[in-house]
Amino acid sequence: MSDKNTRNDLTVGNILQKLLFVAVPVMGTQMIQMLYNLTDMFWLGQLGNEAVAASGTAGMYLWLSQAFMMVGRVGSEIGVSQSIGRNDQEEAKKYSQTSLSISICIGVLFALVMILFRSPLINFFQIQEAGVAADAKLYLAITGAAIPATFITSAISGTFIASGDSRTPFFLNAIGLLINIVLDPILIFPAGLNVMGAAIATSIAQLLVAVLLLIAVCRHKNRPFEKYILINPIEKERAVQIFKWSMPVVLESMLFTLLSMIISRIVAGFGVTAMAVQKVGTQIESLSWLIGGGFASAVTAFMGQNYGAAKWNRVHLGIRISTLAMLVWGVIVTAVLFLGGNFIFRLFLSDPESITMGTVFLKILALSQVINCLEYNSAGAFRGIGRTIPPSLVSISGNVIRIPIIYLLCRTALGIDGVWIGISLGSAIRGLWLFIWFVIAARKLSFFFLF
């Protein structure tokens, strides 16, 4: 076996090193995604709350696109990792190519919807300020054009990660981030494009990353397969299996975003300041869920390969180690949000009301971060063994519970703080539920005992 294959083979070697070997670049890639959004918000924040609210509102639909993006991502991660675990490289390649073809088709359709129906999509939020609504529609149309590129990026990244190489997508996404960081201030200020400039910068960066990943999967020295064809007919048998794996995840992510839109509509009733605080605060909190989701992808790859190879002892030890690692990360995020909220918000918004409201928001969110990290780890483990329904069912149920909690609390003396409490409480219920479910399920399968 070559050094490359040994390095990317998650069924052998030190478990912690292997997990970190995959997880750290994946988490870095997820951090890059967060920094894309924060870069836009940082520079747009210099223009005022209205610009932040506009990009953040349109960003809800970019967030929704990630639900449909999961078809290709999940298909790649599970199909490729389990096939590699069984030492079936040809089957792994076919799952990867089918996932990419599906992603391209869905990405194009989603982009057309965002561009053609941008007005009714933004009008859903009933934004009170006409200028904010107009900028949101413009931002949505421009970023919508780059949606197919993000779908391609997701599917190919899933293939690299499932094969044990998370470094290549990390480095290529980092290049895109650097392009975005350079272009954002240039297009927003000297070029005078404001919100349009931020949208153009993001779209250019995303298109570049997709092109680089397409080249990498065909030509890079660490490519997962020797020969890779980009354009393939969709194979029915594998497509059906990919949709079986991915649909629970898609529904979970889609409903989460749709319910978040309902929450955003409630927040809009408290004015543009509350809208801006929610958009910035949500991006800051993504320090937890993007990193947690990135680690979950590494756990999925690790579980998939070892589950496919029937190495139960490594499955057991890998989950124990990853659980403890995510607990540590949860504590770190809790401390950052609770103690550093005021400082962090001052980087993005300048008026005292926004900073005060945002600081309270982050302190309330901090209370659920440890449990959230346990949820991400449990979801990744479930998906690695091909069981995508439990995490999706829990996520959907927990997010539905959020709405009545928020609706009731925000109509009390708590006001906008009731919204923040409802968001955090719903997350805690969801995370604890899934973690307990996983522990019970894994004990029945006799491959996991936490203590």
**What's this model's pTM, rounded to 2 decimal places?**
0.73
- What's the average model confidence in pLDDT over 90-100? 94
Please state the rounded mean pLDDT for residues 374-390.
Answer: 87
The answer as to whether 6 is a domain residue is no
Full domain range(s) for residue 107: 11-444
Largest Cα span, the chain: 66
What is d(CA 11, CA 372) in angstroms, rounded to the nearest whole number?
28
In a domain, 338, yes or no: yes
* Mean pLDDT on 389-404: 88
Asked if residue 150 belongs to a domain, the reply is yes
Which whole number is the average pLDDT over 386-393? 85
Within-domain flag for 5: no
The owner of tokens 């900028």 is 135
C-alpha–C-alpha distance, residues 128 and 94, integer Å: 50
The residue-averaged pLDDT of 294-318 equals: 83
pLDDT at 451: 40
Kindly report, residue by residue over 180-217, the tens digit of the pLDDT.
999 999 999 999 899 999 999 999 999 999 999 999 99
Q: pLDDT (tens digit, 9 = 90+) per residue, 231-284?
A: 888 888 999 999 999 998 888 888 888 888 888 888 888 888 888 888 888 777
| Contact between residue 139 and residue 199 where contact means Cβ atoms under 8 Å apart | yes
Residue 308: pLDDT band with limits 50, 70, 90: confident
Please report how many Cα atoms fall inside a 13 Å half-sphere around the Cα of residue 92, on the Cβ side: 28
SS3 letters for 16-61? HHHHHHHHHHHHHHHHHHHHHHHHHHHHHHCCCHHHHHHHHHHHHH
Q: Quick one: angle between helices 195-219 and 167-188, nearest 10?
A: 160
What is the C-alpha to C-alpha distance for residues 312 and 385, in angstroms, rounded to an integer?
11
Q: Is 148 exposed, middle or buried (0-12, 13-18, 19+ CB in 10 A)?
A: buried
Q: How many CB atoms lie within 10 A of CB 440?
A: 9
Per the model's pLDDT, the better-predicted residue between 306 and 96 turns out to be 96
User: Does the pLDDT at position 1 exceed 70?
Assistant: no
CB atoms under 10 Å from CB of 88, counted, come to 14
Q: Is residue 389 part of a domain?
A: yes
Report the alpha-carbon distance of residue 38 to residue 44 in Å, rounded.
10
| Residue type for position 403 | I
Q: Could you give the number of structural domains in the chain?
A: 1
pLDDT (tens digit per residue) in 273-289: 888 888 888 777 777 77
Assigned domain for 50 exists: yes
CA distances from 6 to 13, 15, 130, 165, 390 (A): 9, 13, 58, 11, 32
Mean model confidence pLDDT for the chain: 87
Q: Is residue 4 part of a domain?
A: no
Within a domain: 113: yes
> Would you say 371 and 410 are in contact if contact means Cβ atoms under 8 Å apart?
no
Task: Return the sign of the alpha-carbon dihedral for residues 100, 102, 105, 107.
Answer: negative
| pLDDT over 70 at 114, yes or no | yes
DSSP 8-state secondary structure symbol assigned to residue 233: P
User: For residues 86 and 308, what is the distance between their CA atoms, to the nearest angstrom?
Assistant: 5
User: What does the pLDDT read at residue 177?
Assistant: 87
